[in-house]
Structure 1
Amino acid sequence: MAEQKKVDYKKDFKELYLPKQTPALVAVPAMPFVTLAGEGDPNGPGFAADVEALYAFSYAVKMSYKKEDVPVGYYPYVVFPLEGVWDLIDKSIPATVKSNLKYALMIRQPDFLDEDLFARFLAETKAKKNLPSLAKLTFETIEEGACCQLMHVGPYETEPESFRKMEAFCTENGYVRKAMAHREIYISDPRKTAPEKMKTVLRFTCEKIG
């Protein structure tokens, strides 16, 4: 049997994960995700615990080829990056107040994962790891549709400048931002990357005017 090609998001889905540093429009298709919801300062222990649970589950799926009952349709792949959809709890409070943030964290999953396999791998992960945030995981398909995005290079604190460029681009091209919530895709590991070299995909939904 021929060896299966490994799916690598940086090579096979460049449009979604490695955009240019200038704004562009993109149609984001429906994709399977494991997600969880939370709120509060992302620098706190609760956020770190949520991230740990998402990765623990995602690697359980990835390594399932070593099991006796390998999932039907399994193919080798690189685990997708962490993503976060960010919004404000109280819209009257500035976004700089991190305790006022709410988020939906997620990691895209391979196409062979379904509800039954989600339940199986969640149970297996809970049996191996004592991570309270595993109880918050859900499996869902998300389709963003029309979006504006770019690759933000630099610290998270300078993201507002990139968003201003994106909104100006939308205006120039006859589009309008649909909501203040936005998506971030973390291409760089903040533990290993200098702030000025951090790469984060920024994206928000938009629609054509008129």
Structure 2
Amino acid sequence: MKKFDFKKENKHYYLPKNKPEIITIPKMNFIAIRGKGDPNEVDGEYDHALKQLYTIAYTIKMKGKELPGYFEYVVPPLEGFWWMDGIKGIDYQHKELFQWIAVIRLPDFVTKKAFSWAIDYATTHKKQDYSNVFFFTYDEGLCVQMMHLGPYDDEPKTLAIMNQYLEEQGYAPNFEYRMHHEIYISDPRKTAKEKLKTVLRHPIKKRID
């Protein structure tokens, strides 16, 4: 039986071209965990958060087959929402100031009740505390996005291209209620830095001159 693959079925969300485009993203549900600090810190808060995130993701995938509406699927890619207090956008020179929500998209059959079951199941069987993992609904709305190719530290170059495109199209970034968004198409443990693929997405609004 063919497994549903979000990247293939929703290519417009996960596999944009390496040039800017404006897109409206619908409301989606996620497994989420919140934290702060440099994601590159070895054995740091971000590393521990991802382990918890994937535990719940695979609990639902492997143990949730009796849930109403269940279908076979590929676990969607890791995503992240990033911000810094008092800064519009991201300052890549001060990663220790990062605030983040790491997320993995949920299939639509996963209700809040089913999600609570997965947390309880993992807590009981793994004998660990997963209370920091939560059900997160995000209505992203109007955005600009682009595929970034290469190291994460080179993202400002791609963001500059996106911002120039917004200027030309009469739009501006809008971080008032929404966040810098990244979708990690490549696994950095298995992919050379120069070949990494990361979707970069920013919330936008029509510019009022």
Count matched residues: 203
Does structure 2 retain, via aligned residues, the 8 Å contact 1:60–1:125? yes
Question: What amino acid sits opposite 1:192 in the alignment?
Answer: K
Match of 2:138 in 1: 142
Tell me, in whole angstroms, the C-alpha distance in 2 between the residues paired with 1:113 and 1:191: 29
Deviations 1:14-71 (A, max 9, x none): 00000000000111001111111100010222110100111110011111355xxx00
Q: Given the alignment, which residue of 173, 197, 204 partners 1:199?
A: 197
Q: 1:131 to 1:18 in 2, by over 3 A?
A: farther
Compute the TM-score of the two structures, normalised by the length of structure 2: 0.91
Shift of the alpha carbon at 1:200? 0.4
Once the 2 structures are TM-superposed, how far is the Cα of residue 90 of structure 1 from its aligned partner? 5.1
Mapped partners of 1:80, 1:72: distance in 2: 20
Gaps of 5+ in 2: none
Asked whether 1:174 is paired with 2:173, we answer no
Q: Give the partner amino acid of 2:19.
A: T
Change (3 A) 1:150 1:131: farther
Give 1:190 deviation, angstroms.
0.4
2:155 to 148, 155, 159: 159
SS of the residue corresponding to residue 143 of structure 1 reads strand
Secondary structure, counterpart of 1:30 in structure 2: strand
Name the structure 2 match of 1:22: 19
Query: Residues 25 and 147 of structure 1 are in contact (CA less than 8 Å); yes or no, is this contact kept in structure 2?
Result: yes
Q: Deviations over 1:136-190 (max 9, x none)?
A: 1110221100000011010001000000000111110111100284101001000
Structure 1 residues without counterparts, runs of 5 or longer: none
Query: Does structure 2 retain, via aligned residues, the 8 Å contact 1:24–1:150?
Result: yes
